């Protein structure tokens, strides 16, 4: 059928209408007139792919990537960046329309740069006959796209990845590999990798892969079973990366941060620096106040915030990130950070039972959101809550729960930490009405 794309949707597809039915089209751009082939038809909607671009929309650009038509790594590479920002603002306003603060959200913060920004990639590995495929999954499947470059990474990263990929593909034990995580320092000089062994692989195969990685120029790395990332089979060099965050005051030295290659970090170093500064500004912590940082990770927020308040209690469930956070507090000389290892919900319940209270709470949950902790969290009576979310539908649900306890959004802003994809980071500051 022939359709015209009206907008982009959460999930990344274009939206069109045909005879009263909504049509979702992958890799489409608003304004496109397309010939579409349908892959899935339901009573109220259908899903399709582009057969031909009959007339391009005004914001369609050449993606300049030979993998874009079928790779699942990004969805909006064919959409001009200014239009991507506009569509993300529209998504925020549409999904969170019932919870927008008075005056609406603040202007979206665009990324600089919007390509070549990622410092970390998770690449899948699949052996097919004599060919070892390394890359991202194809959109909507577990078929591995044999990726030799990606525009989300800069030239230096792509060159290093290509060399590592060649070494692994030619190695005698490459079939033991199921996944590869490649990370890089902020200054670009040091690369570290996490090699995930498939089920049934031996320690001998892990040691052989470690030698291959080291020979490819990796400055450090770990080899673990894919389902047991805590069980290290081989280790070499420095298996962590480093970056910096701005100091507490103008002119203060940067804070030094490090992250184990298994720990989560934001994908965009320059945008993360700006984000941390805005979080500190919005919370406006005073020297006498206590902060609870839930899903605190390696201390990306808790370390810089500890320098401006009395105490930070940081709760993190991942053992590796928990250890990173303790080390980051140590190397920055912070003594007012209390690190708690465990799931957020039971720890919040324990704190509430002990009648603890906090002046402010920072929430930075995974994509699933923070539903499990919210009903108990309000018993800690924080004056304000700053929610950092990468999933607008989950944030909508959680804002409804917080609203039932009297918390209302005061400020809201989208941050484009994921250019060329539909994902967007959202800051939402709430206070009890």
Instruction: Kindly list the catalytic residues.
Output: 390
Q: Is 126 strand, coil or helix? A: strand
Query: Which stretches within 117-268 are classed as H helix?
Result: 155-170, 203-215
- Spatial neighbors of 413 by CB under 8 A, at least 6 apart, are 105, 106, 107, 108, 109, 278, 426, 427
- Spatial neighbors of 195 by CB under 8 A, at least 6 apart, are 177, 180, 206, 209, 210, 213, 221, 222, 223, 224
Nearest Cα to Cα of residue 341 among 320, 363, 327, 362: 320
Length of the chain in terms of residues written: 433
Judged on CB neighbours under 10 Å (0-12, 13-18, 19+), 375 is middle
Beta-carbon neighbour count of residue 260 at 10 Å? 24
To 10 degrees, what angle do helices 392-404 and 81-95 make? 30
- Cα 215 to Cα 140: distance, rounded to the nearest angstrom: 35
């Amino acid at each position: 059928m022939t359709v015209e794309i009206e907008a982009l949707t959460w999930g990344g597809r274009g939206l069109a209408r045909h005879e009263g039915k909504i049509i979702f089209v992958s890799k489409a751009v608003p304004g496109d007139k397309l010939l579409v082939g349908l892959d899935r038809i339901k009573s109220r909607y259908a899903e399709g792919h582009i057969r031909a671009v009959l007339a391009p929309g005004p914001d369609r650009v050449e993606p300049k990537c030979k993998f874009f038509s079928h790779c699942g790594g990004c969805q909006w590479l064919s959409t001009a960046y200014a239009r991507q920002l506009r569509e993300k603002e529209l998504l925020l306003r549409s999904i969170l329309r019932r919870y927008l603060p008075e005056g609406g959200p603040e202007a979206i913060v665009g990324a600089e740069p919007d390509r070549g920004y990622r410092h970390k990639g998770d690449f899948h590995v699949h052996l097919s006959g004599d060919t070892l495929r390394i890359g991202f999954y194809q959109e909507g499947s577990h078929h591995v796209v044999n990726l030799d470059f990606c525009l989300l990474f800069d030239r230096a990263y792509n060159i290093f990845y290509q060399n590592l990929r060649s070494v692994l593909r030619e190695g005698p034990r490459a079939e033991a590999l199921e996944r590869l995580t490649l990370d890089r320092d902020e200054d670009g000089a040091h690369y570290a990798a996490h090699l995930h062994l498939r089920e049934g692989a031996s320690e001998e195969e892990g040691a052989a892969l470690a030698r291959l990685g080291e020979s490819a120029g990796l400055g450090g790395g770990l080899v673990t079973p894919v389902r047991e990332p805590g069980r290290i089979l081989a280790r070499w060099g420095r298996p962590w990366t480093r970056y910096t965050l701005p100091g507490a005051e103008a002119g203060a030295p940067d804070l030094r941060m490090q992250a184990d290659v298994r720990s989560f970090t934001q994908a965009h170093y320059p945008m993360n620096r700006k984000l941390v500064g805005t979080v500190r500004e919005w919370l406006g912590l005073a020297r006498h106040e206590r902060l609870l940082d839930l899903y605190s990770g390696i201390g990306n927020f808790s370390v810089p915030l500890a320098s401006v308040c009395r105490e930070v209690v940081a709760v993190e469930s991942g053992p590796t990130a928990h250890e990173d956070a303790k080390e980051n507090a140590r190397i920055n000389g912070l003594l007012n950070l209390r690190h708690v290892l465990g799931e957020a919900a039971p720890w919040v319940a324990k704190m509430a039972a002990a009648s603890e209270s906090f002046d402010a709470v920072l929430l930075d949950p995974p994509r699933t959101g923070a539903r499990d902790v919210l009903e108990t969290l309000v018993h800690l009576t924080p004056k304000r809550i700053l929610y950092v979310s990468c999933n607008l539908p989950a944030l909508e649900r959680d804002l409804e729960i917080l609203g039932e306890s009297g918390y209302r959004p005061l400020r809201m802003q989208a941050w484009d930490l994921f250019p060329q994809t539909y994902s967007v980071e959202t800051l939402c500051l709430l206070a009890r009405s």
